[in-house]
Amino acid sequence: MDLSYSAEDIAFRDEVRAYLADNLPKHISDAVREGGEMGKAMIEEWHAILNRKGWLATIWPKEFGGPGWTPVQRHIFEEECCRAYSPRILPFGISMLGPVLQKFGTKEQQDHYLPRILDGTDWWCQGYSEPGAGSDLASLKTRAVREGDEWVINGQKTWTTLGQHADWIFCLCRTDPDAKQQQGISFILVDMKTPGIEVRPIKLIEGGHEVNEVFFTDVRVPYGNLVGEENKGWTIAKYLLTHERTGIAGVGFSMQALEEVKALARKTLRNGKPLIEDPLFAARIAQVEIDLEAMKITNLRMLFKAQSQGAPGPETSILKIKGTVIHQELKDLARRALGPAAAPFPGHVTDGNLMFGPAATAHNAARYFNNRKTSIFGGSNEIQRNILTKTMLEL
């Protein structure tokens, strides 16, 4: 047992740290720190910077333009990115579609789409969920019918994250309504500019616009936009889910959130003393810090297992459940630390001396509410428990 990073890992960490210090623009890290919504422009700017260095698609193999890192290196990179307050890399093209095309796509598809993901030509979104198909994704109804060398798509996707910016959407569509649920689904790429597509915004609990409904009415796309085999889309969907799981514990983000909570608790006065000296609040911080410390190791243990076995196992569900709960708890503490000062709607009280402390505090309540999503999406925490029940407990 040895918990220390190898000399190479440490050298790698220092390299990443130095790179971020030199290349992460201040206006971007400030925006992350202040916790508002990341605009399209800033995400694209940051993607372009990482791409120039070859560090954008960290999970891609070298042959496709990835850096060829080990899972531990990827972990170090993610941790350092959080530490430096760099924006989250958008997962849809890089960590979802990329690996799918690399595994199931044709050579033409790979040559066409992968470079465009890297250089930011195409912004992708994920068209899985439907109003009637959430946890039970396989019950999806959006229909794709082959007509000559085209697919004609009708139906509706929902919860489409950042679909308002997207150039393309990858969709699960029903292509054989008579087959058993999982067996009649295909994975199809759709240009968002195709006639018949309508994107409608969904306003979230805290007032932000990050998800959308996407409607398809007689949308015609080339038959060649099919990825993998017809009616074998479920296999792809499942493969993609395993990739959605890297970094699933969100340890870096929780470490960031813990530091923020401590900073807030140092600045906030309660009973005339820094809140961090209040025994009840200090206990809350310490409690979640203990959980996080264990989670770091749990995460690394599973990372190592994945590294030696080649793929993450079902126990990564543990990372999802506990990782999201820890992060949500930290967001709760931030809101709690501020007390009444967390109440104003973000943006309402920001000018001059009327600010409630630093600008970074304005979004704390909003982030707490928004982050309730993490235990719902990507397979809800209930679904994760079902997975563990079946796979680990065999009940």
Partner 1 sequence: MDFNLTEDRQMLADTLNRFLTEQYPVEHRNKVAYDAPYHDPSKWDALVELGTLFALAPEEAGGMGGAGFDIAVVFEALGRQITPEPVLGALMASRLLAAAGADQEALLSGASKYAVAFTELDAAYELDQIAAQATAKGDAYALSGRKSTVYGGQVADVFLVAAKLNGKLAVFQVNAADANVTGYGMMDGAGAAELLLDDTPATLLIEDGAAAMEDAINAGIVALCAEAVGAMDVTHAITVDYLKQRKQFGITIGKFQVLQHRAVDMLTEIEQSRSIVIKAAAELGGPDASRYASMAKNLIGRSARLIAEEAIQMHGGIAMTWEYPVSHYGKRLVMLDAQLGDTDYHLSRVMAGNAAA
**Residues within the interface to partner 1 (CB under 8 A):** 129, 132, 134-136, 139, 158-159, 202-207, 268-272, 278-281, 284, 332, 335-336, 338-346, 348-349, 354, 356-357, 365-366, 368-369, 372-373, 375-377, 380-382, 385
Q: Least separation, in Å, of the C-beta of 3 and partner 1?
A: 34
One residue of 126, 175, 225, 328 binding ligand FAD per CB under 6 A: 126
One residue of 86, 95, 102, 161 binding ligand FAD per CB under 6 A: 161
Give the whole-angstrom CA distance, residue 46 versus residue 23. 9
- Token pair 């459940």 is found at 321
One residue of 6, 135, 139, 217 binding ligand FAD per CB under 6 A: 135
| Span from 83-91, 127-135, 307-315, 345-353 in contact with ligand FAD (CB under 6 A) | 127-135
Q: Least separation, in Å, of the C-beta of 266 and ligand FAD?
A: 32
> What are the CA-CA distances from residue 194 to residues 113, 153, 160, 187, 228 (Å)?
17, 11, 17, 17, 22
Q: Least separation, in Å, of the C-beta of 153 and partner 1?
A: 22
Concatenating the DSSP letter of every residue in 253-311 gives HHHHHHHHHHHHHHH-EETTEEGGGSHHHHHHHHHHHHHHHHHHHHHHHHHHHHHHHSS
**Could you say whether residue 229 binds ligand FAD (CB under 6 A)?**
no
Give the whole-angstrom CA distance, residue 115 versus residue 111. 7
335, interface contact from ligand FAD, partner 1, none, CB < 5-8 Å by kind: partner 1
Q: Which conformational region is residue 256 in: left (phi greater than 0), alpha (psi within -120 to 50 degrees), or beta?
A: alpha
One residue of 28, 211, 264, 285 binding ligand FAD per CB under 6 A: 211
Give the whole-angstrom CA distance, residue 212 versus residue 335. 27
Identify the CA nearest to 231 among candidates 157, 310, 166, 175. 175
CA-angle at 233, arms to 230 and 239, nearest 5°: 140
336, interface contact from ligand FAD, partner 1, none, CB < 5-8 Å by kind: partner 1
Burial of 36 (0-12, 13-18, 19+ CB in 10 A): middle
Q: Residues 78, 244, 260, 329: which is the catalytic one?
A: 244
At residue 318, what is the residue type?
Answer: I
Interface size with ligand FAD, residues (CB under 6 A): 16
Give the whole-angstrom CA distance, residue 173 versus residue 185. 5
Q: Is 24 or 321 the residue whose CB approaches ligand FAD more closely?
A: 321
Give the whole-angstrom CA distance, residue 230 versus residue 21. 47
Q: Is 123 or 128 the residue whose CB approaches ligand FAD more closely?
A: 128
Q: Is 283 or 392 the residue whose CB approaches ligand FAD more closely?
A: 392
Q: Least separation, in Å, of the C-beta of 185 and ligand FAD?
A: 13
Does the annotation count 37 as an active-site position?
no
Window 318-377: residues binding ligand FAD (CB under 6 A): 373, 376-377
One residue of 113, 128, 151, 281 binding ligand FAD per CB under 6 A: 128
Q: How many residues does the chain have?
A: 395
Give the whole-angstrom CA distance, residue 88 versus residue 161. 14
Measured at CB, which residue is nearest to ligand FAD?
134
Report the interface residues with ligand FAD, using CB under 6 A.
126, 128-129, 134-135, 159-161, 211, 373, 376-377, 380, 382-383, 386
The residues carrying an active-site annotation are 244
